[in-house]
Every structure is written in C-alpha cells, then in structure tokens.
C-alpha cells in the first residue's frame, strides 16, 4: 500500500517509494508514504488562489454550519478510524481521545462560529473608540480573514485530533490549509481526510494533505500565511528560525512538548480522597497514549514527607497496567508509535538515571498479544530526583513515553520554584483541598504555564483532567512549550485573521461592520420596527417615540410593586450628603417606562424579548423629568432553524433614553427574537 496526498484538487502518490510504515504492536509493514514529485509552491498557491476565495465567499456562519455537518459525517464513520488507530499503538481510550475528541473540536467551533460571530466576513473586535469631540470621527477594530494559507505541521501522537483541532479554527476564520501529519502515523490522517473530501462539505482548495516529507515547504510561505507546529521543541525552534519565516514575518504558532508537572498539596494525607485522586491522575497521564502526550505529567512534585507513600502507591498502580496490542482484551497501555520512538525513550531514561534513582521499570512485563521484539512496547518508568534544586536533568530531559520523575519539595515557595524550573510548560496541575494554599501556588505557577488545573475530590468526577486540552481554552505555553496558543475559543480563530483599525464617520463604519456605531445616521423607520420581519430590518433603522413625564406617583407605585425601597427613592429626609438632589426615580422604572414607550403591543414578527445587555443608568431622573426613547436596530444575528420552530433571528436594539434636555439618562441593548418571512 502506498499512501496518497490530496493536492491541487486530486489524490496523488509520490513518485518514489518513500518511508515505510509499520504496525506499532507487531512490526508488520503497512505501506509507504512519499511526497516525491509534489511541488510545494504550487499547492500553497492553489490554496491561496482557489481555496481562499472559495472560503471567503462564505460567511462565518456558512463555514461554521459546514463544520457541524462534517462532524456528524465523520462520527458516522468513526468505527473504521478506530480499527486503523489500533495499528498506531493506541488503545480504545487513547483512540477515543484522538478520534472523537478531534471531532468534538468541530462541534465546538461550529457553535462558536454561529453564536459568537456575525453572519458576514467581518468580525468587530471590542467597543468602538470615539476619536472626536463632536462624534463624527470614530474608530473600530475589525478582523478579516488572511489571504494566505495555514500550513499545519503535526505530531505523531494524535493523527486525528492534531489535524481537526487546527483545521476547525482556520476554516471558521476563512483560511485554507495544508495538513502535514507526522509520517509515522499519517495513514490514519489519510483515512479521515479521504472521508472529508468525499463528503464535499468543504469548498475546493480548503484542505490539502501531505503524507510524507514536507522538507522545503517553508521556502514558499508568504506574509499572509500562518504556520503552526506541534512536536519537539528542538524541531520547532529550527523551523521557527527559517529565513522565510523571519523575512516575511510569517505568524508561527508552536506547541512543543514540555516537562509538565503535577503538585500534591501539603494538606493531602495518605489514603485520603485527594491522595487517591492524585495517584490516579499521575498514573493515568503516564500511561494514556503510552505517555506520548505533550501534556503528560513528566514531573510529579510532592512534599518531601510524602515521597514514600506516593512512591508505593504509584508503583502498585503501575504494576497493574496491562500492556499489549490494543486489540487484545484487557490491555490498558499499548506500544509507542514506532521503534524509533522506543529507542529514543530508552535513551532518555538512561540519561535521567545518571542523576535520578530508578524506582520502577520492569523489563519482564507480561505482554498481552503483540511482538516483544518488533513491537514498540515499553514498561512504565518512575524515577526519583533526590536533590531537585540542583538536578537539572529532572527539569530538562524529557522521555516522551510512560515516564515520570518524583520530585520532593519543602513548602509552597519551593513547589512554585520547582514548577518554574521546567522553563515553560503547557499545563501544570495541583491536587489540594486547601483553597488558600492552592490559590497561592496556582498564581505563583501561572507565569510559566499555559493552563493550570486545580483538582480535588469535589471536582474529580467531572474534571476533564490534567492532560486534556479543550477547544474553549488556550492550549500552549511559554518558554520550552513554544510560546504559542492553539484553540482558546475565539482567540484561536483570530490567529488566522488580520486585526485592522478602521477609522471614519460612524455611518460608514456601521455599514462596513453591520453593527450600529454611536453617532451614525439613524434613518427613521417607515413603520414601527417591530412590524418588520427579520430580513426587512436594516442596521441603523430607528424609532423615535412619544414622551412621558415622570410623576411622584410613578416612583411610589414602582417602589411598592418592586419592593425596592432604597432611601433615594422613598426618603427625601436622607438625601443630605448624597449624590442626589431630590427623590430619584428607580433606574429599573426608567428602563421599564422606556419599554412602555417603544414596545408595539400588537401581534407581529417580534416573537419574544430575549434579554437585556449593557444597561447603564447615566443621569439621575427626578420627578418631573420628561423621557423619550430612540430605538435603533443595532445588529442582526440569524439563527439556524430548528424542527418545529418558527424561523427567526436575534435582533439587538439600542435603547437610548433621554430627558427633556436631550441628554441621555439610560442606555441599554435589548434582544428580541424576530420571525423570518415564511416562504
């Protein structure tokens, strides 16, 4: 079998034999991977000239909907991915993280694209900035898709998740990509991409795949491209310093393997619930994926008086780990991805043994199916760094397998310092029920970690665990971890877009962003805005209401109705020394009165009040004030139709309440559900 590359709109094999691939458990040849004869410059240009324009024809919502459809499509075919995944050495649990965890990223970013982004190709970032006294000149930051291609260079340990967590983000942003999986497990990535292409859910040129060497691809990147890398820090630094990257100022996101730590709190005693949580978490992170995780716990930091009980409990648990082919019943840990990985891990263990005591490593472990000689099996390994403040190897040598080093500490300050000695990590965790201690250590660790997990028995059952990056949160870390960020919700999408400051008259920026900007033109509606269907409404459309004078009876009645008897509303004898000159109307009365002015009571396209945002009471309203409202269509957000529901969208309205002087006394954004026209 020879793997295929998907480039320039078709599947193509390399014109040389290439790299031979093997089953991780039995050493059986699975085929070859090669990119020989493929012109990397052509495929990048194809992405820019075909994939990019095709994606930018779609809105954020279009692309997000395609992700959801793709996720459902892949879930229907997941079982065949599991069968292939077992050949990489991944167990059922390992494969679930890789396959269904990867597909979960598509669902998450589909939701974010539809719920947190507009149905357009321009994303407004933050509030507008008023740049002139008269309000005729303003500024707004926007994000638009970059005009290049995302080049994803992925690691061998998660051939599905590693691809899907990256492409979910760049596709929502509107940027095409070229995926380069690590060759050793690229056969699983190829299987998933074949189904993605077959689905026809992505526009042509949005996704290309290289199975084999991509040496030289960075020679062709430009300033509009984005390069992402996951793998070893050494390789990442080499790629990051490529002349083309520096000359063209190409954004380069690096997520590198790091010496992540887990710290046991000083409050935790042997045989306690928290102690059991700690032992289970460390052992799990050592053995899931046979320790081949960039987030695995490499340094197990415990109070010095707890070394012995932790050592005994961990070894007892590691001894029970059943090792063998992932297809064999009862196996809990499979092999490493290949013999080269096994050789490297064993070499790193030997290096650690020069300064650390070997506590557990069983060369004679029982093998449940698989080839002991040709398979890349290895025993879980636990070491001890007795003098951790002076043992540099414990904080710098990473064995990318089921290996962790016990490290004793004295007090919170030293625990924090030891966590820093890894020189930057993707994740650190703390197991403690002492809120003050855990808070102190978490804040102390934060400067050197991309993510921190505080675990104890109160959240352990529902926790996603130390080693699980989530699409909603940042995945990355400083220093040795690469200094980059992946995912992180909207932060990840923005990585593939250009942030630009737009300046001009608010009316023009309103038209550009389709979000009403204060000071922009507000054309009066030809009829009450609540009489318009969703499609008929235009951003900026405004209703100017009739007026209402506030009476003392209004204030007294609202106090009795709401039970809000705050002194400023009800006791005029208590106003001396306050900010109020006389009895003041309730802020919530003002906004309720405003609703009475702008709401159209008859049945129409407005289905319901959906909520209230950004409410501010700007100026006191006293008895005798005369209030009026300008109701302006601020933004329209379409919703995907659901079976049995009226087709609709959300409309955000600016409610500007002013008094008889023309000054704004209250400002709010209300949301309504508005029906779409039925066809």
Question: Which tens digits make up the pLDDT trace of 121-158?
Answer: 999 998 888 989 888 999 999 999 999 999 999 988 89
Q: What is the pLDDT of residue 469?
A: 86
Average pLDDT on 89-97 reads: 93
Give tens-digit pLDDT for 277-305.
Answer: 999 999 999 999 999 998 999 999 999 99
Average pLDDT on 607-624 reads: 91
| Residue 64: its H or E element | helix 60-75
Give tens-digit pLDDT for 95-106.
Answer: 999 999 999 999
Catalytic residues: 255, 294
Give tens-digit pLDDT for 543-556.
Answer: 999 999 999 999 99
The rounded distance, in Å, linking the Cα atoms of 200 and 42 is 22
Q: What is the pLDDT of residue 156?
A: 85
The β-bridge partners of 178 are 151, 208
Task: Check if the beta carbon of residue 590 is closer than 8 Å to that of residue 627.
Answer: yes
Task: Check if the beta carbon of residue 618 is closer than 8 Å to that of residue 666.
Answer: yes
Residue 368 contacts by C-beta under 8 Å, 6 or more apart in sequence? 322, 323, 324, 325, 328, 329, 330, 331
Average pLDDT on 341-345 reads: 93
With 80 as the cut, is the pLDDT of residue 320 above it?
Answer: yes
Q: What is the pLDDT of residue 188?
A: 96
**CA distance to 78, 153, 220, 444, 580, per residue, from 215 (Å):** 31, 11, 11, 41, 72
**Which of 63-72, 361-370, 382-391: highest mean pLDDT?**
63-72
Q: What is the pLDDT of residue 223?
A: 94
The rounded distance, in Å, linking the Cα atoms of 533 and 563 is 38
With 90 as the cut, is the pLDDT of residue 483 above it?
Answer: no
- What angle do helix axes 161-173 and 186-199 make, rounded to 10 degrees? 40
Task: Check if the beta carbon of residue 433 is closer than 8 Å to that of residue 458.
Answer: yes
Give tens-digit pLDDT for 377-430.
Answer: 999 999 999 899 988 899 999 999 999 999 999 999 999 999 999 999 999 999
The β-bridge partners of 153 are 180, 229
Q: What is the pLDDT of residue 679?
A: 54
What tokens were used for 628? 């009026």
Q: What is the pLDDT of residue 222?
A: 95
Q: CA torsion, points 419, 425, 426, 431, in degrees to nearest 10?
A: -10
With 60 as the cut, is the pLDDT of residue 563 above it?
Answer: yes
Average per-residue pLDDT for the chain: 92
With 60 as the cut, is the pLDDT of residue 529 above it?
Answer: yes
**All domains in the chain, ordered by first residue:** 5-256+491-498 (3.40.605.10), 260-469 (3.40.309.10), 522-675 (3.10.129.10)
Average pLDDT on 567-589 reads: 88
Give tens-digit pLDDT for 162-174.
Answer: 999 999 999 999 9
The β-bridge partners of 497 are 145
Indicate the pTM of the whole model: 0.88
The rounded distance, in Å, linking the Cα atoms of 105 and 107 is 5
The C-alpha R_g of the chain, in whole angstroms, comes to 30
The rounded distance, in Å, linking the Cα atoms of 373 and 2 is 25
With 90 as the cut, is the pLDDT of residue 644 above it?
Answer: no
Q: With bands split at pLDDT 50, 70 and 90, how would you rate the model's confidence at 231?
A: confident
Q: What are phi and psi of 156, to 5 degrees?
A: -80, -20
Burial class for 478, CB neighbours closer than 10 Å (0-12, 13-18, 19+): middle
Q: What are phi and psi of 331, to 5 degrees?
A: -70, 130
Degrees, nearest 5: CA angle 168-169-175: 100
Give tens-digit pLDDT for 584-595.
Answer: 999 999 999 999
The rounded distance, in Å, linking the Cα atoms of 1 and 18 is 12
> Closest by alpha carbon to 401, among 334, 310, 322?
334
Higher local confidence (pLDDT), 201 or 604 = 201
Q: What is the pLDDT of residue 310?
A: 96
């Amino acid at each position: 079998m020879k793997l295929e590359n998907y480039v320039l709109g078709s599947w193509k094999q390399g014109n040389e034999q290439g790299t031979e691939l093997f089953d991780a458990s039995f050493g059986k040849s699975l085929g070859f991977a090669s990119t020989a004869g493929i012109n990397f410059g052509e495929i990048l240009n194809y992405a820019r000239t075909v994939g990019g324009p095709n994606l930018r024809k779609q809105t954020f919502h279009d692309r997000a909907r395609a992700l959801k459809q793709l996720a459902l499509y892949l879930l229907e075919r997941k079982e065949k991915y599991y069968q292939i995944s077992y050949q990489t050495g991944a167990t059922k649990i390992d494969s679930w993280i890789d396959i269904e965890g990867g597909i979960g990223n598509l669902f998450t970013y589909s939701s974010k694209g539809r719920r947190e982004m507009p149905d357009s190709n321009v994303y407004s970032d933050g509030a507008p900035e008023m740049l002139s006294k008269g309000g005729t000149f303003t500024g707004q930051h926007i994000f638009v898709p970059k005009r290049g291609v995302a080049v994803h260079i992925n690691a061998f340990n998660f051939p599905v998740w590693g691809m899907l967590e990256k492409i979910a983000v760049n596709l929502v942003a509107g940027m095409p990509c070229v995926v380069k999986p690590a060759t050793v497990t690229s056969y699983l990535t190829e299987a998933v991409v074949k189904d993605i292409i077959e689905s026809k859910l992505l526009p042509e040129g949005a996704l290309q795949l290289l199975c084999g060497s991509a040496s030289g691809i960075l020679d062709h990147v430009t300033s509009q491209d984005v390069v992402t890398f996951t793998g070893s820090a050494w390789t990442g630094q080499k790629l990051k310093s490529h002349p083309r990257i520096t000359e063209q100022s190409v954004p380069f996101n690096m997520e590198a393997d790091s010496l992540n730590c887990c710290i046991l709190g000083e409050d935790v005693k042997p045989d306690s619930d928290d102690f059991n949580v700690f032992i289970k978490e460390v052992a799990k992170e050592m053995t899931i994926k046979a320790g081949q995780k960039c987030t695995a716990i490499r340094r197990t930091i415990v109070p010095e008086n707890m070394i012995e009980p932790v050592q005994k409990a961990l070894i007892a648990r590691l001894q029970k780990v059943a090792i063998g082919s992932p297809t064999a019943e009862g196996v809990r840990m499979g092999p490493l991805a290949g013999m080269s990985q096994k050789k490297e891990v064993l070499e790193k263990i030997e290096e650690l043994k020069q300064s650390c005591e070997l506590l557990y490593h069983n060369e004679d472990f029982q093998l449940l199916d698989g080839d002991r000689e040709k398979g890349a099996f290895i025993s879980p390994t636990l070491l001890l760094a007795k003098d951790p403040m002076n043992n540099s190897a414990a904080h710098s040598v990473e064995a990318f397998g089921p290996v962790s080093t016990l490290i004793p500490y004295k007090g919170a300050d030293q625990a924090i310092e030891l966590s820093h000695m890894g020189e930057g990590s993707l994740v650190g965790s703390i197991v403690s029920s002492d809120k003050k201690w855990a808070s102190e250590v978490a804040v102390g660790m934060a400067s050197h970690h991309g993510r921190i997990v505080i675990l104890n028995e109160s959240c352990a059952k529902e926790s996603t665990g130390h080693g699980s990056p989530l699409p909603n949160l940042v995945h990355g870390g400083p220093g040795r971890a690469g200094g980059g960020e992946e995912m992180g919700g909207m932060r990840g999408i923005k990585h593939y877009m250009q942030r630009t400051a737009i300046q001009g008259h608010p009316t023009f920026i309103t038209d550009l962003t389709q979000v009403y900007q204060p000071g922009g033109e507000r054309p009066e509606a030809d009829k009450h805005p609540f009489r318009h269907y969703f499609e008929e409404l235009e951003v900026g459309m405004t209703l100017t209401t009739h007026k209402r004078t506030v009476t003392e009876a209004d204030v007294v009645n609202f106090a009795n109705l709401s039970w809000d008897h705050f002194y400023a509303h009800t006791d005029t004898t208590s106003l001396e020394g306050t900010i109020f000159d006389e009895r003041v109307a309730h802020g919530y009365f003002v906004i309720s009165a405003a609703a009475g002015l702008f709401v159209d009571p008859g049945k129409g396209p407005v289905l319901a009040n959906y909520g209230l945002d950004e409410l501010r009471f700007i100026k006191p309203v006293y008895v005798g004030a005369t209030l009026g409202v300008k109701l302006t269509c601020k933004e329209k957000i379409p919703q995907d139709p659901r079976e049995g529901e009226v087709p609709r969208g959300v409309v955000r309205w600016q409610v500007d309440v002013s008094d008889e002087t023309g000054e704004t006394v209250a400002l709010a954004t209300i949301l309504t559900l508005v029906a779409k026209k039925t066809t």
